[in-house]
Structure 1
Amino acid sequence: MTKLKLGPIEDDKPVKVTLELPATLHRDLVAYAEILGSSPGQSAPDPMRLIVPMLERFIVTDRGFAKVRRQNKAIR
């Protein structure tokens, strides 16, 4: 089984966002969703629902951002 940085997508209340993506990024999101759905007991999530968890993961793992945020508590 492939180890991905993104785990199962929680069923959360969706928020409508209009976003224009390059076609290559959309294809990558579709492929990522298919890989997530290939895990036993999982169905492929809507590729657009991957965007928020991916951004959250990116922000949480960005050490530079965390460092500046700790230094400047005014930034939330």
Structure 2
Amino acid sequence: MARICQITGKRPSKGSIIHRKGQSKKSGGIGTHVTKVTKRKFRPNLQRIRVKLPDGGTKRMLVAVKAIKAGLVEKVV
């Protein structure tokens, strides 16, 4: 099952972790230097919830929390 929101289409995106070493110039050092760059993924916060459909039925879907908070879906209680 892919990590894609079935409402908004949000999916994992690529990025990197940047490691810096040294004391900043503001703190009295000679400045920070990049020592390593590692690849990483930013994954959307997906929840598997039961969603109320427009025709009155229900369905389990993977939905991003941002879509739930925005009111794009109606949860079944």
Please indicate the TM-score interval, normalised by the length of the shorter structure: under 0.3
TM-score (norm 2): 0.25
Higher relative contact order (CA 8 A, sep 6+): 2
| Bigger proportion of residues as strand | 2
TM-score by length of structure 1 reads: 0.25
Q: Select the structure that is richer in helix.
A: 1
